[in-house]
C-alpha cells in the first residue's frame, strides 16, 4: 500500500485581516478575520510517507533553511496525530507567486495539511483540518474552505478554526493588480511579530479590527456591498498603518501600489464601485462586483504595471488523488 495523496488548495485574501498572534506556539491570532478564497491561485501538493528523511520540493527546487523546517515541523504534527515515525517526500507546485503577498502560505499549508493527512489515512473533519492547517500558516486555516470564510480567533487550540459563511448574494469578484510578483524581504510572520512587539499603534489595530470584524459580519449578512467594501479598504489601511509604526518600520508598498490605490478612488468617483486591499506585499487586490470585473481589469491594465489577474470565489481544499 502506498501512503500517497495529492491535494489542491486555493489562496485566500482577507477582507478583515489577521495581523499578529496572541500565542505563537500554537498560532492563535490576536483577532478574528474574514476572507475570500480565490479561484485564480492554487497550490497542488503530493505527500508520500515511508521515506528515511523528509524532503520538500517546491516548483522544482529543493527547499532548505527556514522554508524547509516550516514544513518538517508541520510534518511532525502529522506524525504525532497519526502515531507514526517515518518521513515524507513532499512535492508541491504553486500557481500563486510564492512569498509575494498573494497568500502562498495559505494555499501551501492547506494543501500540505490535506495531502499529508490523507496520505497517512488520518480522517479529519474540515474543522480539525482547519485547526491543523493553522499551525502551518495562520491564513491556511481559511483556505480549507471556499468562498467567504471566517477564522474565529478562539481562546485555545480547539476554538481557533475557520468555517465558511454563506454569501447572501454579494456577487463578489476580485482583480489582482500585480505590482511585483517577486519575493518579499520580510515574511508575513516576522513582520507581524515585529509590529506586535514594537508598534505603539498595534493595540489600536487590535481594538479597531475587532470592531471591523463584527461590523463586517453584519454587512455580509445584509449583503451590503458598499459597507463590505468600505470596511475591507479601511481595515487594510489600518493594518499597514500599524506596520509603519514598528521599529524598524515595515512597508511593503511600491510606487505602483500607490498608483493602483489612486485608480481605485478614481473608479469609484466615475461610478465603478470597487475597493482596495493589500497584504504583506506590494500587490493590490481590488474587490468589486462580478459585473465590473472587466471594467476594473481593463483600467488596471492601462496602468501598464507588472500584471493583472481576475478572480471569482474559489473552492475549498480537495484531495484530488489518494492511492491505496
Ligand atoms: P505569502 O504572502 O505568499 O503567504 P508568507 O511570508 O506568508 O508569504 O509565506 C511564504 C512562505 O510560505 C514561503 O517562503 C514558504 O516558506 C511557504 N510556502 C509557500 N508556498 C508553499 C508550499 N506550496 N509548500 C510549502 N511551503 C510553502
Ligand atoms: C497580511 O498567515 O502568512 O496576509 O501565520 O505567520 O504564517 P503566518 O502568517 P500568514 O499571515 C497573513 C497576513 C496577511 C493577512 C491575512 O491573510 O489575514
Ligand atoms: Co502568508
What does the pLDDT look like over 254-292, one tens digit per residue? Answer: 999 999 999 999 999 999 999 999 999 999 999 999 999
pLDDT tens, residue by residue, 55-77: 999 999 999 999 999 999 999 99
105 CA closest ligand 2 atom index: 3
pTM, entire model: 0.98
**Average confidence (pLDDT) per 10 residues, the chain, 324 residues:** 92 98 97 98 98 98 98 98 98 97 98 98 98 98 98 98 96 98 97 98 98 98 98 99 98 98 98 98 98 98 98 97 65
| Nearest residue by C-alpha to atom 11 in ligand 2 | 188
Q: Is 243 helix (H, G, I), strand (E, B) or coil?
A: helix
Q: Cβ(106)–Cβ(143) under 8 Å?
A: yes
Q: Is 37 helix (H, G, I), strand (E, B) or coil?
A: strand
Interhelix angle for 188-198 vs 225-244, to 10°? 70
- Structural Rg of the chain based on CA atoms: 19
* Residue linked to cell 484531495: 319
d(CA 309, CA 314): 14
What residues have CB less than 8 Å from 9, skipping those under 6 apart? 42, 43, 45, 106, 107, 108, 110, 111, 114, 140, 143, 144, 316, 317, 318
Strand order of the β-sheet with 284-289 is 274-278, 284-289, 172-178, 307-311
| Nearest residue by C-alpha to atom 8 in ligand 2 | 137
Most informative mutation of 55, 73, 98 for ligand 1 (most atoms within 8 A of CB): 98
Q: Is 0.95 exceeded by the ipTM? A: yes
Instruction: Tell me what pLDDT residue 1 has.
Output: 61
Instruction: Tell me what pLDDT residue 324 has.
Output: 56
Task: Write out residues with Cβ below 6 Å of ligand 1.
Answer: 43, 45, 58, 67, 70-71, 92, 94, 98-106, 108, 112, 137, 187-188, 280-281
Residues 161-165: contacts with CB under 8 Å, at least 24 apart:
161/127, 161/128, 161/130, 161/131, 161/134, 162/130, 162/134, 163/126, 163/127, 163/130, 164/316, 165/34, 165/217, 165/220
Ligand nearest to the CA of residue 14, numbered in listed order: 2
- Write down the number of H helices and E strands in the chain: 9, 14
Q: Does domain 172-311 have CATH number 3.30.70.890?
A: yes
Q: Cβ(244)–Cβ(200) under 8 Å?
A: no
Q: Does domain 3-167 have CATH number 2.40.128.20?
A: no
CATH 3.30.70.890 boundaries in the chain = 172-311
CATH 3.30.230.10 boundaries in the chain = 3-167
Q: What are the DSSP E strand ranges found in the chain?
A: 4-16, 21-23, 28-29, 33-51, 55-58, 61-62, 87-94, 148-151, 162-164, 172-178, 274-278, 284-289, 307-311, 318-322
Amino acid at each position: 500500500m502506498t501512503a500517497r495523496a495529492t491535494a489542491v488548495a486555493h489562496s485566500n485574501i482577507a477582507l478583515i485581516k489577521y495581523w499578529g498572534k496572541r500565542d505563537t506556539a500554537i498560532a492563535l491570532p490576536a483577532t478574528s478575520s474574514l476572507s475570500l478564497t480565490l479561484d485564480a491561485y492554487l497550490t497542488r501538493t503530493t505527500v508520500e510517507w515511508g521515506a528515511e528523511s523528509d524532503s520538500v520540493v517546491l516548483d522544482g527546487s529543493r527547499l532548505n533553511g527556514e522554508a524547509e523546517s516550516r514544513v518538517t515541523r508541520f510534518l511532525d504534527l502529522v506524525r504525532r496525530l497519526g502515531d507514526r515515525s517515518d518521513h515524507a517526500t513532499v512535492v508541491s507546485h504553486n500557481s500563486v507567486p510564492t512569498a509575494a503577498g498573494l497568500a502562498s502560505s495559505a494555499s501551501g499549508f492547506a494543501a500540505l495539511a490535506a495531502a499529508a493527512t490523507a496520505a497517512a489515512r488520518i480522517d479529519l473533519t474540515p474543522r480539525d483540518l482547519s485547526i491543523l492547517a493553522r499551525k502551518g500558516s495562520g491564513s491556511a486555516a481559511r483556505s480549507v474552505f471556499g468562498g467567504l470564510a471566517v477564522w474565529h480567533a478562539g481562546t485555545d487550540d480547539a476554538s481557533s478554526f475557520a468555517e465558511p459563511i454563506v454569501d447572501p448574494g454579494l456577487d463578489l469578484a476580485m482583480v489582482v493588480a500585480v505590482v511585483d510578483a517577486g519575493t518579499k524581504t520580510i515574511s508575513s510572520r516576522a513582520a507581524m511579530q515585529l509590529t506586535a512587539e514594537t508598534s505603539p499603534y498595534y493595540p489600536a489595530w487590535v481594538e479597531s479590527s475587532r470592531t471591523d470584524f463584527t461590523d463586517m459580519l453584519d454587512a455580509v449578512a445584509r449583503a451590503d456591498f458598499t459597507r463590505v467594501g468600505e470596511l475591507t479598504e479601511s481595515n487594510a489601511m489600518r493594518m499597514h498603518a500599524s506596520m509603519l509604526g514598528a521599529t524598524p518600520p515595515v512597508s511593503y508598498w511600491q510606487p505602483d501600489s500607490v498608483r493602483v490605490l489612486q485608480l481605485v478612488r478614481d473608479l469609484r468617483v466615475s461610478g465603478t464601485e470597487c475597493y482596495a486591499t493589500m497584504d504583506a506585499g506590494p500587490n493590490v487586490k481590488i474587490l468589486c462586483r462580478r459585473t465590473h470585473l472587466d471594467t476594473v481589469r481593463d483600467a488596471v491594465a492601462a496602468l501598464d504595471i507588472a500584471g493583472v489577474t481576475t478572480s471569482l470565489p474559489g473552492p475549498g481544499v480537495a484531495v484530488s488523488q489518494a492511492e491505496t
